[in-house]
């Protein structure tokens, strides 16, 4: 679509924003990568969703910034959060022992689960022993990670997610979209439909009415549940206290009303003592939801004491490893500093473009791109570290200073080296399961060629000469449309050539949406060599005498 030369450039008549990408044909294979591509593609193509996610991020970013300005000296606070987390990880064994001893001293039970299966079995065992019919859950990422819901359902109990977003996602049968907002992608009409079906009546398309309906349904579940399962935002080692940071009140109800309370907690979520809890309690709400503090912070130390008016009679804390100890002691250890605020996803341009379901994991956003491959293995997740432009917005947003971009680069190095996951040794040497496929072989080969050229100036000069020589064939030098013609000539002229380009698909991936500039008539190096040397010396290289 060509605009007249004298038309105003203002957005009054915006140029067409066609996706410029080839029509998509369903791929032959169904692999994690093809599923990823399909989801990303679908999210981009869904313009209302695109605008919705864009707006969601804009709002979140605004509140994040407000909360940090309100706090003042946010950088110093971030340093302190990072220091507390690093210290804790450096002494994790000691704090785990202290935490467990104190939970038991307060009358709670502690179970150490090496993996998902052990954790599931323990909790299901508690449910069976107590004849549990109804379970309420306050959002716990780890319980999703280990697949607890299915295990509890298998005991015959009814399991209800009570966090509003998680409840809606559960009813829709969908994975959570975002760490703190499981249903952020859903718009009002769909939520109305989902909650109406659950309520068995047509509800109005009005947020308060929908919230009210959920409140009524879930209130009944809370009051009649025999088991409450919660996560833990933090565990205070010095007193064996489990801390929950929530806004809705479902966290409090889940941990107060049923007779038995089970906490499922990642083993890295400890804090040495109450004083070191402060920076985490200050920064988690500000980074995560852009608030000074959440409506509720519950600090639970053991089950109810004798004479207490309410509270569960039995408390179980399940401390989950499930791959975390394999990350400890490796170059990936900093990822365990994460406090699960979800801020990285709020600032990530790739997240808002491809959507939370593209991660195919309970952990979404930049943290998911790092954690999912580390916990699940690189096999089948090797594309996630590449789903990033390394723009660094996540690094700037993270309150715990998790060096996400650097960790993504490390993962990419492991993928290129054909690794399956972090090696058991602290050194970077990866294990030797080869990464899949022709695509990576192509890149490996290509970069070998790159290295050969990058170390040989003459080879580079020759390549540039050849490229310059191709200018007349590649496109016309007339006016500023040269770039455009280059793209169309590559397509239509000499079909043999376009087939060559189809092979690796690399150049086509560019020219589908963008024009590519023609190689310059003469490289800079050539221009420099031809440069007139008048008067004072202008050396052309190092080692000139007198310097």
Partner 1 sequence: MTVRTSLMVTCLGDALYPQVGVAAVKVLEALGVEVDFPPGQVCCGQPAFNSGYRDEARAAACAYLKAFSASEHVVSISGSCAAMVRRHYPVLFEGRPEEAEARALAARTWEFSQFLIDVRGVNELPARHDARVTFHHSCHTRRLLGVVEQPERLLGMVRGLEYVPLPRAEECCGFGGTFAVKMPVISSSLVDDKVDHVLETGADELLGLDMSCLMNIGGRLSRRDSGVRVRHLAEVLAEGWGR
Partner 2 sequence: MDRDVFIARVAARRRLSAAEGDVPLPSPVVPPGVAASRAEPGAGQPPAAPPGATGPAAGPAGGPTDDRDRLLELFAARLREAGGEAARVSDRGQAQAAVVALARERGWTGVSCAPSLRWPALDDLWTEDPRCADFGLSEAEWGIAETGSVVLRHHGDRGRGHSLLPPVVGFVLPASRVVPRPGDVLGRLHGAAASLPACVTFVTGPSHSGDIAGVMCYGVHGPAEVRVWLIDDE
Residues 96-135 binding partner 1 (CB under 8 A) are: none
CA proximity to 175, closest of 311, 12, 373, 39: 39
The stretch near partner 2 (CB under 8 A) out of 148-156, 269-277, 365-373, 439-447 is 269-277
93 binds partner 2 (CB under 8 A): yes
Please name the residues in contact with 357: beta carbons below 8 A apart, sequence gap of 6 or more.
39, 43, 174, 175, 177, 185, 364
Q: Which of residues 314-373 bind partner 2 (CB under 8 A)?
A: 319, 321, 325-326, 328-330, 333
250 binds partner 2 (CB under 8 A): yes
Among 34, 196, 353, 498, binds partner 1 (CB under 8 A): 353
The stretch near partner 2 (CB under 8 A) out of 39-47, 108-116, 369-377, 433-441 is 108-116
Measured CA to CA in angstroms, residue 218 lies from 103, 167, 178, 195, 248 at distances of 29, 9, 22, 12, 12
Among 79, 426, 450, 502, binds partner 1 (CB under 8 A): 450
Among 50, 87, 471, 489, binds partner 2 (CB under 8 A): 87
Q: Which entry of partner 2, partner 1, none binds 2, CB below 5 to 8 A by partner kind?
A: partner 1
> Do 508 and 537 contact (CB within 8 A), yes or no?
no
CA distance 106 to 102: 6
392 binds partner 1 (CB under 8 A): yes
247 binds partner 2 (CB under 8 A): yes
CA distance 339 to 232: 11
Q: First vs last Cα of the chain: how many Å apart?
A: 56
Among 194, 395, 404, 421, binds partner 1 (CB under 8 A): 395
Among 163, 314, 410, 414, binds partner 2 (CB under 8 A): 163
CA distance 404 to 276: 24
442 binds partner 1 (CB under 8 A): no
Minimum CB separation of residue 389 from partner 1 in Å reads 3
49 binds partner 1 (CB under 8 A): no
> Do 255 and 138 contact (CB within 8 A), yes or no?
yes
Task: Dig out the tokens for 108 from the structure.
Answer: 């709670």
186 binds partner 2 (CB under 8 A): yes
91 binds partner 2 (CB under 8 A): yes
Among 218, 354, 384, 394, binds partner 2 (CB under 8 A): 218
Residue for token digits 């993504």? 408
Which uninterrupted H or E stretch holds 90? helix 74-90
Minimum CB separation of residue 394 from partner 1 in Å reads 10
């Amino acid at each position: 679509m060509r605009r007249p030369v004298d038309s105003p450039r203002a957005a009054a008549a915006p140029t067409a924003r066609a996706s410029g990408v080839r029509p998509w044909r369903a791929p032959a294979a169904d692999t994690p990568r093809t599923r990823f591509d399909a989801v990303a593609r679908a999210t981009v193509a869904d313009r209302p969703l695109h605008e919705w996610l864009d707006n969601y991020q804009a709002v979140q970013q605004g509140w994040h910034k407000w909360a940090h300005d309100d706090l003042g000296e946010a950088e110093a606070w971030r340093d302190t959060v990072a220091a507390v987390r690093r210290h804790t990880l450096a002494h994790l064994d000691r704090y785990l022992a202290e935490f467990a001893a104190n939970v038991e001293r307060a009358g709670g039970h502690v179970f150490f689960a090496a993996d998902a299966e052990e954790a599931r079995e323990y909790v299901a065992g508690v449910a069976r022993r107590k004849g549990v019919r109804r379970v309420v859950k306050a959002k716990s990422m780890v319980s999703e990670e280990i697949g607890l819901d299915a295990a509890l359902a298998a005991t015959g109990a009814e399991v209800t997610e009570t966090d509003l977003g998680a409840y809606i996602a559960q009813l829709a049968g969908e994975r959570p979209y975002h760490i703190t907002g499981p249903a952020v992608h859903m718009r009002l009409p769909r939520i109305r439909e989902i909650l109406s079906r659950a309520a068995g009546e047509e509800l109005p398309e009005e947020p308060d009415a929908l919230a009210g309906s959920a409140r009524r349904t879930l209130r009944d579940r809370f009051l009649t549940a025999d088991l409450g399962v919660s996560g833990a935002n933090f565990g205070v080692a010095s007193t064996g206290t489990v801390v929950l940071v929530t806004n809705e009140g479902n966290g409090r109800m889940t941990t107060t009303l049923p007779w038995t309370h089970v906490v499922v907690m990642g083993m890295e979520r400890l804090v040495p003592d109450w004083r070191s809890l402060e920076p985490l309690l200050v920064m988690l709400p500000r980074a995560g939801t852009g608030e000074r503090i959440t409506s509720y912070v519950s600090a639970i130390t053991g089950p109810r004491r004798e004479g207490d008016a309410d509270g569960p009679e039995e408390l179980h804390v399940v401390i989950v490893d499930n791959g975390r100890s394999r990350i400890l002691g490796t170059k990936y250890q900093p990822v365990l500093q994460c406090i699960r605020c979800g801020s990285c996803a709020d600032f990530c341009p790739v997240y808002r473009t491809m959507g939370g379901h593209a991660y195919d994991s309970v952990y979404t956003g930049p943290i998911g791109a790092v954690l999912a491959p580390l916990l699940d293995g690189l096999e089948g997740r090797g594309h996630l570290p590449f789903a990033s432009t390394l723009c660094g917005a996540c690094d700037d947003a993270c309150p715990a200073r998790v060096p996400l971009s650097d960790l993504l680069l490390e993962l990419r190095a492991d993928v290129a080296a054909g690794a399956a996951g972090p090696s058991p040794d602290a050194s970077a040497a990866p294990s030797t399961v080869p990464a899949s496929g022709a695509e990576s072989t192509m890149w490996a080969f290509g970069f070998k060629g790159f290295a050969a050229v990058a170390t040989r100036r003459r080879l580079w000069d020759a390549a540039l000469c050849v490229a310059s020589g191709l200018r007349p064939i590649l496109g016309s030098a007339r006016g500023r449309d040269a770039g455009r013609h280059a793209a169309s000539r590559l397509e239509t002229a000499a079909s043999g050539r376009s087939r060559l380009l189809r092979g690796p698909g690399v150049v086509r991936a560019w020219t589908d949406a963008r024009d590519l500039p023609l190689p310059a008539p003469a490289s800079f190096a050539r221009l420099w060599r031809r440069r007139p040397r008048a008067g004072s010396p202008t050396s052309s290289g190092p080692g000139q005498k007198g310097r």
